[in-house]
Structure 1
Amino acid sequence: MIRSLIKLTLTPLFILFFSTTHAQIDQIRIGQSAVKVHTLVLGEVENHNKNYGPKDHSRMSADMKSSNRDITEVILYYKKSVESAADSNLNYCQRYFMADGSLSFKQKEYEQVTAAQLVSMYDRSNIYRKVGRCYFTNDYKYYTRIFAAPNGHAIAEYRKTMTANLTADELKLLQKQLPAIKAAEQEVYDESMEESDSDNDGIRLSTRIEIGQSAAQIQSLISFTTKEYNKISIYRNEASYCKSDVQYQYGKIAAVTQCYQNAYLADFQQLTNYCKQYRMVNNRLADIVTQYGNMSLGQLKWHYQRTSFDDIIGDLYFTDDYEHYTKIYLSDGLPTTVYRKTILSELPANIRTTVSTRLTTMRTQIRKREMAAYIKSFKAEDAGRKIREKILLGCKPFSEGLAAVAIASAKDRPDYRDYLWGYLNENGDYAIRPQFAYTTSFHDGIAFVIRYGDKNKYECINKAGEIIFDTTFYKFRPFSEGIAVVGDGYYYTFIDKTGKRITAETYQEVGDFKGGLARVQKHGLWGYIDKTGKEVIPPQFDRAMDFEDGIAIAYQQDHDSFIYLDKTGAIVKTVQASKGGYQDYGINGKMIPFRFVNNFSIVKEGGRYGFIRSFRKYLIGPIFDSVANFSEGLARVKRNGYWGFLDTTGHMVLNKGIMKQNQLASDSAFQSVTDFSEGFSVVRVNAMYGYLAKDGKWLIPPVLEEALPFSDGKALILNTKERKGWNFIDKTGKIVYEDFM
């Protein structure tokens, strides 16, 4: 076919939404070095303040953040800068976030625009391809996501398209756009193959005419190609020239016509005169009619038949994908072609079934090829990921059936800043593939995560890895009793599992919910709220502790007393802080009264620690340097620089040698120990770790580089002499998941 006849080149000018005329920062690209970005920003600040600022009463300034001598963030501030697209004075800042020495992503924060307003502006723009909540560039290589900052400002975040940056729902929606992605890739390819120079500005871009393009685009294309053709060129003779015209109807472009005189057509290998008319419907290109002057209808049909192969159905010549066709006929005695999009209802009845079958078949085949290419492209992007997924560089214990684990990103150097975090299930399979920059363990079925490349912006996911609500947080504490603490860096509040705040109040400090109540601090005083956000015990105390077994202890400085409260706020009893027998919690230099844990309480006298089992009745006197509460019937205690374990009768049962100086064996010099958990304590000896059972026998002697306590029947170990990363062991000391290296 003579498809090359309808391919034309042009230099389209891409007007970026909310774009500015800042030459320096317009050169900034994802992937550029941090030093280059910083240099361009500083150059823009100097140029703007010198040449533009005095004219429009605007000013720019820049800031830079670094860590370990590496630039981590570059910030550009605009004050009263006129945005060409908005035609209003907007104060905003552009943040450039770095990863591994290069630009990872950027954010633009607007002070006087809400997120809803910015979304509306993007929706009205024809520049972006919207998929879910993302606005993609035409080639789908980059996207913008809009959200609200805690202060209410609108933020537009610009990123490179990567699987790690998109949610599962967004990936599904993106897969549905495969035909559009393929078309965009073809357009980029065509631009690179048909690239041409403009006569003045030197911009080198191009495109081609497509059915469905806007009338304005067609007019610009034809105007440009006409001008280009009429330049002196080795591709035409001196007698050849081109003219173009625009026809209007009711004030809108109805058609654009372009005529060539003595033009050489390579497909026909002859000089000819011909005209093309680009006809519009609803301000979009509907079809292309071409008439040839000194050519016969037979010549035209012979050429189409020679190049169309099996694409001829009836008297129509279809493109390879059957999405468009050409009809050849005589009009005013001249051989004419019309090129249109395939619409079954407009075809002759006798060929509709055949065309419909072939069209469906081709679309299915193309979709399969595109899906395969799409999957292959992401596999290429994640090359080596399968190997990396078998080396755990970071781990957290199992919680609610899932364990947070980290692998190296695609970067050559497995730096901890480039870890990708995901979750393993009990079978050792990835329940949520590694994609986050940070994760917490699951509590109440919810975990907090930071997407890769984000900075201190926490979101909530469920066990399917889905973001469960749009709100992001800068500080948080895990869910407890269905409520989580979140904050903006200055004040705290509470949310439920739907992301809804349970109270409009914000507090200076807060505690987790315990027994249905949480302690809160407002104006320097502490009180308690319930799960509806009601302040059931108004803030009135100088210090307060969480509820345990229905009782909380608070301190009032005016009375120098500790107050035992029940959940109604009623005072159970009061203890003067000046009296003896206090546990060491250090409230305003005072000791908190006895708090019994597992029927025992820690007591401190004369700088030493001991235990009591009832008021004033010692289990063992204050003879230890440090102690911890009982766990699984044993309490860890430190004496003479090393640790051992005490039972509930007050006798040393493990590492008894700490009671006497110079009587410790080398393998009993416990430098640190953990509470017993599921029958074992992690013990550190000579800077190596092992697992000790309650009978004093080693499950694993101290040969490990790192070790964590048992949880849900499994523990985490790191022993790089035998394996490359972290591994899980069971209570027999065996590796649970052999697939991990």
Structure 2
Amino acid sequence: MLFEAQALARSRACRRKPGMSGLWLILPPMTLSPLFKIRHRGFFGFMNASGEVVIEPQYIEATDFHGGWARVRLNDRWVLLDTQGRLYLKRLFRSIGLFSEGLACVQLVRQWGYINERGEEVIPIRFDSADDFSEGLAAVAIAGRSGYIDREGRFVLKPIYTAAGAFQQGLAPAADGALCGFISTDGSFAIAPAWDACQPFEGPVAVVVRGGRWGLIDRQGAVRLEPQWEFAPGRPRIHFREGMALAFLGNKYGFVSQEGHAAIEPMFEQADDFSEGLALVEINGAWGYIDPGGRLAILPKFERASRFREGLAPVQSNGRWGYIRPDSSWALPAAYDAAAPFEHGLARVAVSGHWQYITPEGEVVWRED
């Protein structure tokens, strides 16, 4: 969600992983080629890009690999798995964050600390909450107040804020009482607290909230866009993708640019972020794609669709899924029950309830028995 002034320090990675408890590793993984999750008789494992199974399906639940690690579930516990298929059992944690700048936040019972990529507890578990490291600092809370620590766990900025968020380009959202502003790395407010909620800066602007609506300010605190936009259902945070952010007003979707103006007026029933120069939009119940100027690049004629990835986008036509190119021509005909975007040269599709991985040419490199 947006960083509310009274809960600014709640980290997306460190605080919001219910059920992701498990045992941690003791050695760093060997990062090789990408691995892809596969399924066999209800169990999950992993293959390489050639379709060779490198970790046999044996886990009842598994995540994709991220930064060299995947989480797998053993009974009611989550354990980290490296790319060699090794489970590293050292200490039981209730929650595990993703690595950021070489450290990951971990929760033991109720309090938080940090481990390095060898699984060593390098910052003791003693904080009430913990955020990812960003620009060498991490926001943590202790005794109801938030401050910032360095990679050695030392307080660089004392816990004097009612809440705090991540530094981006030298500024971080922080709250003094009920309102939030932005502090510099010396802890002073560079932008005075004046907003109900704030997000970290993305490029030249940051999202700020007043009265439940969001707008934009620049790095000097000047308002680029008055708070006027609503939050779309299911999207409690605003993110810029390729210089544009989804905007929602009066049950219609449009786009706001990082320059601070409505680049594309709200007119669409549904919309998704820009990806590879095109954004998915719904018009009269059908899906198509627009360019950054708001012009229709691909006419709305699909029942469902997804973002472009690696030059192709999965779309549904007559109940079946295939892949199109940016010029709207079919790269792979609609022949699948389900289809995911391409990633690292492969896409996962379903045929008669069974998974397959295919190349952009449609060659099957692996199929579920």
Q: What does residue range 254-653 of structure 1 map to in structure 2 within 5 Å?
A: 401-408=34-41, 419-451=42-74, 454-456=75-77, 458-557=78-177, 560-566=179-185, 569-571=186-188, 573-577=190-194, 590-592=196-198, 595-599=200-204, 601-602=206-207, 615-618=222-225, 622=228, 626=232, 628-638=238-248, 641=251, 650-652=262-264
Q: Distance in 1 between matches of 2:244 and 2:359?
A: 22
Q: Deviations over 1:313-353 (max 9, x none)?
A: xxxxxxxxxxxxxxxxxxxxxxxxxxxxxxxxxxxxxxxxx
Kept after mapping to 2: 8 A contact 1:643/1:673:
no
Q: Distance in 2 between matches of 1:482 and 1:606?
A: 38
Equivalent residue, structure 1, for 2:357: 728
Q: Distance in 2 between matches of 1:450 and 1:513?
A: 26
Structure 1 residue 684 displacement after superposition: 8.3
Structure 1 residue 601 displacement after superposition: 4.8
Secondary structure of 1:459's counterpart equals strand
Q: Distance in 2 between matches of 1:421 and 1:535?
A: 42
Equivalent residue, structure 1, for 2:349: 717
Structure 1 residue 731 displacement after superposition: 4.8
Kept after mapping to 1: 8 A contact 2:114/2:125:
no
Q: Distance in 2 between matches of 1:691 and 1:633?
A: 26
Q: Distance in 2 between matches of 1:441 and 1:697?
A: 30
Q: Distance in 2 between matches of 1:637 and 1:691?
A: 27
**Residue segments in structure 2 that go unaligned for 5+ positions in a row:** 1-22, 25-31, 271-281, 288-299
Q: Distance in 1 between matches of 2:73 and 2:147?
A: 32
Equivalent residue, structure 2, for 1:278: none
Kept after mapping to 2: 8 A contact 1:459/1:473:
no
Kept after mapping to 2: 8 A contact 1:468/1:498:
no
Q: Kindly, what percent of the aligned residue pairs are identical?
A: 24
Q: What does residue range 696-711 of structure 1 map to in structure 2 within 5 Å?
A: 706-711=338-343
Q: Deviations over 1:595-637 (max 9, x none)?
A: 542445556677666667884345x994666384332355444
Q: Distance in 2 between matches of 1:703 and 1:644?
A: 32
Structure 1 residue 489 displacement after superposition: 3.7
Kept after mapping to 2: 8 A contact 1:634/1:676:
no
The one-letter code matched in structure 1 to 2:173 is I
Q: What does residue range 35-74 of structure 1 map to in structure 2 within 5 Å?
A: none
Secondary structure of 2:173's counterpart equals strand
Q: What does residue range 90-129 of structure 1 map to in structure 2 within 5 Å?
A: none
Kept after mapping to 2: 8 A contact 1:727/1:735:
no
The one-letter code matched in structure 2 to 1:509 is S
Structure 1 residue 401 displacement after superposition: 0.8
Aligned pairs, number: 309
Judged with a 3 Å threshold, the aligned counterparts in structure 2 of structure 1 residues 490 and 573 are, in CA distance, closer, same or farther, namely: same
Q: Distance in 1 between matches of 2:346 and 2:243?
A: 21
Judged with a 3 Å threshold, the aligned counterparts in structure 2 of structure 1 residues 503 and 437 are, in CA distance, closer, same or farther, namely: same
Structure 1 residue 502 displacement after superposition: 0.9
Judged with a 3 Å threshold, the aligned counterparts in structure 2 of structure 1 residues 674 and 509 are, in CA distance, closer, same or farther, namely: farther
Judged with a 3 Å threshold, the aligned counterparts in structure 2 of structure 1 residues 609 and 709 are, in CA distance, closer, same or farther, namely: farther
Judged with a 3 Å threshold, the aligned counterparts in structure 2 of structure 1 residues 442 and 564 are, in CA distance, closer, same or farther, namely: same
Judged with a 3 Å threshold, the aligned counterparts in structure 2 of structure 1 residues 609 and 698 are, in CA distance, closer, same or farther, namely: farther
Q: Distance in 2 between matches of 1:652 and 1:520?
A: 38
Q: Distance in 2 between matches of 1:679 and 1:463?
A: 27
Structure 1 residue 557 displacement after superposition: 0.6
Residue range with higher mean Cα deviation, 672-681 or 480-489: 672-681
Secondary structure of 1:423's counterpart equals strand
Kept after mapping to 1: 8 A contact 2:93/2:107:
yes
Give yes or no for the alignment of 1:737 onto 2:365.
Answer: yes
Secondary structure of 1:460's counterpart equals strand
Q: Distance in 2 between matches of 1:525 and 1:673?
A: 45
Judged with a 3 Å threshold, the aligned counterparts in structure 2 of structure 1 residues 466 and 682 are, in CA distance, closer, same or farther, namely: same
**Residue segments in structure 1 that go unaligned for 5+ positions in a row:** 1-148, 151-398, 409-418, 583-589
Secondary structure of 1:737's counterpart equals strand
Judged with a 3 Å threshold, the aligned counterparts in structure 2 of structure 1 residues 682 and 500 are, in CA distance, closer, same or farther, namely: same
Structure 1 residue 702 displacement after superposition: 8.6
The one-letter code matched in structure 1 to 2:343 is S
Q: What does residue range 136-285 of structure 1 map to in structure 2 within 5 Å?
A: none
Kept after mapping to 2: 8 A contact 1:635/1:645:
yes
Q: Deviations over 1:157-204 (max 9, x none)?
A: xxxxxxxxxxxxxxxxxxxxxxxxxxxxxxxxxxxxxxxxxxxxxxxx
Q: Distance in 1 between matches of 2:365 and 2:216?
A: 42
Q: Deviations over 1:4-59 (max 9, x none)?
A: xxxxxxxxxxxxxxxxxxxxxxxxxxxxxxxxxxxxxxxxxxxxxxxxxxxxxxxx
Q: Distance in 2 between matches of 1:695 and 1:622?
A: 35
Equivalent residue, structure 1, for 2:19: none
Judged with a 3 Å threshold, the aligned counterparts in structure 2 of structure 1 residues 637 and 533 are, in CA distance, closer, same or farther, namely: same
Kept after mapping to 2: 8 A contact 1:421/1:439:
yes
The one-letter code matched in structure 1 to 2:183 is Y
Bigger proportion of residues as strand: 2
Kept after mapping to 2: 8 A contact 1:525/1:540:
yes
Q: Distance in 2 between matches of 1:431 and 1:682?
A: 27
Secondary structure of 1:450's counterpart equals strand
* TM-align CA RMSD: 4.5
Structure 1 residue 521 displacement after superposition: 1.6
* TM-score, length basis structure 1: 0.35
* TM-score, length basis structure 2: 0.64
Structure 1 residue 688 displacement after superposition: 8.3
Structure 1 residue 466 displacement after superposition: 1.8
The one-letter code matched in structure 2 to 1:575 is A
Secondary structure of 1:506's counterpart equals strand
Secondary structure of 2:356's counterpart equals strand
